[in-house]
Structure 1
């Protein structure tokens, strides 16, 4: 039996008997005026962060949600795109799709604005998305891709890239590891299914996104997720996992590499009226300008420019 079979069996179990607290971090779910989340749906919130960023959901986008879970984020996406078929939710587990359908039916009773036609739940998986090329504005997944082994992760990212329209966004929330995951944990299929042992490091995770063709990555949040106790998990020392929320854009990769925004700022401290690096960045004295990490590295070499540390929160603006 492959690790993917173990994952499917595990999520079939938690679809029938919700495991409150599985994967999720201690955070308040997105609350919007007129949005009521059914209790059962909230109990099945098997995510490690959020993929619902209102700034990414303007203009009535078509959203493909991979791994429907209890339907929570499918409902939240529908809040922003209130039309038939606006949200397509894909899941390979029959019982999970059935649970999401039940939860969404309850949501339709509790939310006057919500119609069941807004969300289309389909059978399918991340490696063969049931959508044509360049057909959706947003692809989202929450705490799913971290389960995949690296080769399968590459396939899933390539599929997301395929179905996205040009300039489309891949919105993800996944655990990452602060150090390389030991082999004995990576080989534990049950822990992998529980989102505890498949996490890559930040560097490897973002590199996989870039290798799939995404030219710009923006980090929305990075925070503690789980601490793997050294004694319990047979480690030399405790291992901290973090939750990473990101938005990756289907835009061309620049000749000098992709742009990753982590909240760094560049500030010109010199005596001139402005600083122009002749690469598209004009800094005014004393005024912070958001820049990608690649540009930050170049500007940091100048003695009259101060580059701030990553805040791990960036939601647009600045330049690259």
Structure 2
């Protein structure tokens, strides 16, 4: 639920004269071999989350936040850009034996490091629920290990070979996706989205949305800036691979989630002081959570919600206005989004359910255009004439009107 409308961003493309992916790959290959402090934005983890991890994983993992604290037992979780595997192994204990964790990375050095300790950590926690796969986070359908196997069997030596290779990649995406659609409860990432080249960033957010189940969520820690990086910064491979040149402008970062279809987008944490300031531009860490699931039909079941305040009114992601204290009519889908216990809005909303429930199969279409108020009689029923009075003053509780 937003308190003000966002300004439409203008995200200028990079004019980098080098291969962004190569610069990132080389920097993190080096980081898998020797710790690189310059890749880290200092982050505090819960001590018991680290106590069972090998020191090598801790030293060679690079991030800017802790999205692992927002994962729950029994969930299927994906870590985009899983690196040395630290976040995956922390999550493995949080989701438990019934949960599942998938780390996605396209850096062989990092994948080898993460996989190196899989059996050891499984023995420590008592189960093996982690898997590391090779893929690009902006193309979660394509299994790069399958692609490499195909190239090993048949190298590309002509345009015909290239055409057949592309057809095979499309088949893999369609028939054997690395991460299937609607299969994941939570997607996390720690300081990796900014490393994706600008041309792929819209697809990146679309892919995060695709793999999540309805009601699932993304929890992303990343570096943002208050002004656009200069062209000189964007043409510096060191600054790009160091999480500077590809940083999202803060408002654009949130808008990317919105444009991909997410709702309930909120900043969970934001670094007060900049991590770095370069040419007057401030770069800091933020952690953002966003939910999937506001698409679908709208059905009338005589439900309403009351916004508690303290703001005079707020506006949701679909443009509906909730004025403090008003009994606003909502469709069943919006009612569930606003009032479920795990909803980001629930603490601010009073749910008003109808006295006589309307079965979903009997519900009529709800007109979601604009904002309308719900007459109390629609909730209670026209024939509702019950009179109830307290039996005695002692019937009043400390929370009553007496």
Q: Say which SS state the counterpart of residue 198 (structure 1) adopts.
A: coil
SS at 2:187's partner residue? strand
Assess if the C-alpha contact under 8 Å between 1:216 and 1:251 holds in 2: no
CA contact (8 A) 1:90 1:124 kept: yes
Structure-2 change in CA distance of 1:291 and 1:61 (3 Å): farther
Partner residue in 1 for 2:72? 57
Distance 1:180 1:214 in 2: 24
Q: Secondary structure at the match of 2:287?
A: strand
Residue 311 of structure 2 contacts residue 324 of structure 2 at CA under 8 Å; is this kept in 1?
no
Q: Distance in 2 between matches of 1:155 and 1:196?
A: 21
| Candidates 265, 280, 283, aligned match of 2:305 | 280
2:28 aligned partner = 11
Pick closer, same or farther for the CA change 1:47–1:282 going to 2, 3 Å: same
2:307–2:323 CA contact under 8 A, matched in 1? no
Checking the alignment, whether the CA contact within 8 Å between 1:71 and 1:103 is kept in structure 2 is no
Q: Name the structure 1 match of 2:87.
A: 73
Aligned with 2:183 (options 110, 122, 135): 135
**CA 1:122–1:147 in 2, change beyond 3 Å: closer, same or farther?**
same
1:298/1:251 Cα in 2 relative to 1: closer, same or farther (>3 Å)?
same
Aligned position for 2:121? 107
Alpha-carbon distance in 2 for matches of 1:292, 1:253: 20
TM-score by structure 2 length? 0.60
Task: Kindly state the Cα deviation for residue 85 of structure 1 after the two structures are TM-superposed.
Answer: 7.3
Task: State the 1:149 CA deviation.
Answer: 3.4
Query: Secondary structure, in 3 states, of the residue corresponding to 1:210?
Result: helix
Matched, 1:192 2:256: no
Residue of 153, 158, 168 corresponding to 2:201: 153
Question: Structure 1 residues 5, 292: CA separation in 2 closer, same or farther (over 3 Å shift)?
Answer: farther
- 8 Å CA contact 1:175, 1:243 repeated in 2: yes
Say yes or no: does 1:123 pair with 2:137: no
Relative to the length of structure 1, the TM-score reads 0.74
SS of the residue 1:318 aligns to:
helix
Shift of 1:47: 0.5
Contact 1:289 1:318 in 2 (8 A): no
In structure 1, what is the equivalent of residue 37 of structure 2?
A: 20
- Deviation of the 1:253 alpha carbon: 6.5
Q: Structure 2 regions of 5+ residues with no counterpart?
A: 1-17, 141-177, 297-302, 326-342, 350-402
Aligned to 2:257: 209
- 8 Å CA contact 1:48–1:143 kept in 2: the answer is yes
- Does the CA contact (< 8 Å) of 1:67 and 1:91 recur in 2? yes
Report how far residue 45 of structure 1 moved. 2.5
Would the alpha carbon gap of residues 114 and 41 (structure 1) be closer, same or farther in structure 2, given more than 3 Å must change?
farther
Question: Is residue 228 from structure 1 mapped to residue 277 from structure 2 by the alignment?
Answer: yes
**Cα-Cα RMSD:** 3.3
Tell me what 1:181 maps to.
229
The higher radius of gyration belongs to 2
| Alpha-carbon spacing, 1:292–1:194, altered in 2? closer, same or farther (3 Å) | farther
Cα 1:33–1:50 shift into 2, 3 Å: closer
> What per-residue deviation string (whole Å, max 9, x for no partner) do you get for residues 136-182 of structure 1?
11111110001223331111111111111111111100010012211
Give SS of 1:152's match: helix
C-alpha separation between the residues in 2 aligned to 1:290 and 1:103? 53
